[in-house]
Amino acid sequence: MTQTEPAPPAGRDTLMTTELVPEQILPKVMTTFGLTAAYVFIICWVTGSSVMAAGGWTAIPMWVLGILTFLIPAGMAVVELGNLWPGQGGVYIWATRTMGETWGFIGGYLSWVPVILNAASSPAVVLQFLLLAFHAELGLTTSIILQLVILWTVIGLALAKLAASQRIMNIVFVVYGLLTLTIFISGLLFAVKNGSATPFSWAEATIPNFAVAGFLYGTVLLYLLGVETPYNMGAEFLSVRKSGPKMILWGSAALVAIYLLTTLGTMMALPTDQIDPVTGVIGMLDVAGFPGLMEVCAIVLAFIIIVALMTYQVAYSRLIFVSGLERHLPRLFTHLNPRTRNPVTAILIQGVISSLILVGLYSQSSMANVTIYLQGGLSTVWLLSGFFFLFPVIIARRKYADRYADEQFWRIPGGMTGVWITVAVGTVGTIGGVYYSFVTPWIDVPTATWMTWVGGISLGMFALGLTVYIFGRRSAHKVSQEDALAHLAVFDLTGSDKEAEGTDK
């Protein structure tokens, strides 16, 4: 630091509770490969390829546009911020450090709330693939009961040790790749023999058509959201600065490959008017595959989605844990299981809220429609969280200029010019995504109906956030920070953990 530069404000670099405590009590188990797998499971919902393929060949330039205007800017922003503040909580820490505590809570909440909506809608997707595999139909009541069973099976898996969850992710990640190749190769072979079922057009395949298919842009961004989420577990990375950039690079490459290959495979095997918006990506194997392949792959994909939901529950529960540490929520939410080191209360409360939403909404409309309504609301709310990792990069460059000068870590290339371009592109993409998620129906319903459902779901999530902030903060502040952390300070190891520590030594 030169003599002309002002000294940093007193207390600026004092560690937040969530930067200090998790580092002391949570095991570092997340490897680069494990993080890459988690990144893909959090972001990649291959059912999005069904929706995109139903839009025809214009889906391809929409995918490319979404990658360029959102995935790449978001990825670069979170890598820089994750390197600057490699702690538990991700976007909450980044927004708090640059924009203040209240904005930190808002950013963290907007990033967290999708797990509630996703967990309420995705069990229906799992069930639809299982019904496809067994060629069955169910009544609404039975469907809701089975969805709750699926949801709480996921919650049970999420309560296991993170190391055990990581092993499951790693194995299923390989299976995901094999399934992707199966879908693409089957579609390609069908097209070689019979011609593409969705007639090919150079114009549609190279130029995004917003006039006809603008809704696809909002859909694309929904299926690219979640770049920041693995950093919720920052204290559990083996090395944030080494693994973070590799996770974003390799994970994004895998993500793009899965989406593009499965979208292409589906379009080549089925005409657009025959592509189911949920199960089409597997249903195409009934035409392009050999007998029994579709049924087997439907069961495989149902299991993949269950593992993805487990990954969601694990990663997002860390934000509730962080809110408890920072006293936005009562001490109860900082409870860790002594054996698994998982925030049990946080995982359970996520399951309870999602169950209530699932029962309340699915009893009012068809399973397929509500699944898409929830995804529209999820997209609208989640996209807003992007501002809390885009704008902080600009603020961090100015407010923490001394750290940028003194420390070596990956940052957006091109200096402030590169930062402004990255943030501007990401912001325009985010605003476009919010607009097309809210005003353009993703299914065949009137625009007013779509906006009512999506707007109502979004407002409900904002109301929940306001309630959590007011009452959670009030309750938490009745207890001093020292008392709130007392149980963590005397965190007891179980016998097996002590043995493991002895072995490590």
Domain for residue 1, yes or no? no
Domain for residue 497, yes or no? no
Nearest to 377 by CA among 86, 189, 45, 118: 118
Domain for residue 501, yes or no? no
- Matching residue, tokens 């990649």: 44
Domain for residue 3, yes or no? no
What average pLDDT score do residues 164-183 get?
94
What average pLDDT score do residues 157-180 get?
93
> What φ, ψ does residue 99 adopt, rounded to 5°?
-120, -10
> Between these two residues, 474 and 48, which has the higher pLDDT value?
48
pLDDT attached to residue 497: 45
How far is CA 206 from its chain centroid? 28
d(CA 47, CA 58): 17
CATH number where 305 lies: 1.20.1740.10
Domain for residue 131, yes or no? yes
pLDDT attached to residue 502: 40
Contact 332, 156 (CB under 8 A): no
Find the distance separating the first CA and the last CA of the chain, reported in whole Å.
40
**Span 439-480, pLDDT tens digits:** 888 777 888 989 998 899 888 888 888 887 777 766 656 656
Expressed as residue numbers, the domain containing 191 is 27-490
Nearest to 108 by CA among 352, 355, 384: 384
Domain for residue 8, yes or no? no
Half-sphere exposure at residue 270, Cβ-oriented, CA atoms within 13 angstroms: 29
pLDDT attached to residue 50: 92
User: What confidence category does residue 500 fall into, taking pLDDT thresholds of 50, 70 and 90?
Assistant: very low
**Span 210-265, pLDDT tens digits:** 888 888 898 899 899 999 999 999 889 988 889 999 999 999 999 999 999 999 99
Domain for residue 498, yes or no? no
**Total of domains in the chain:** 1
**Span 185-216, pLDDT tens digits:** 999 999 999 999 999 989 888 988 888 888 88
Domain for residue 271, yes or no? yes
**Span 77-120, pLDDT tens digits:** 999 999 999 888 889 999 999 999 888 888 888 888 888 888 88
Nearest to 14 by CA among 481, 473, 371: 481
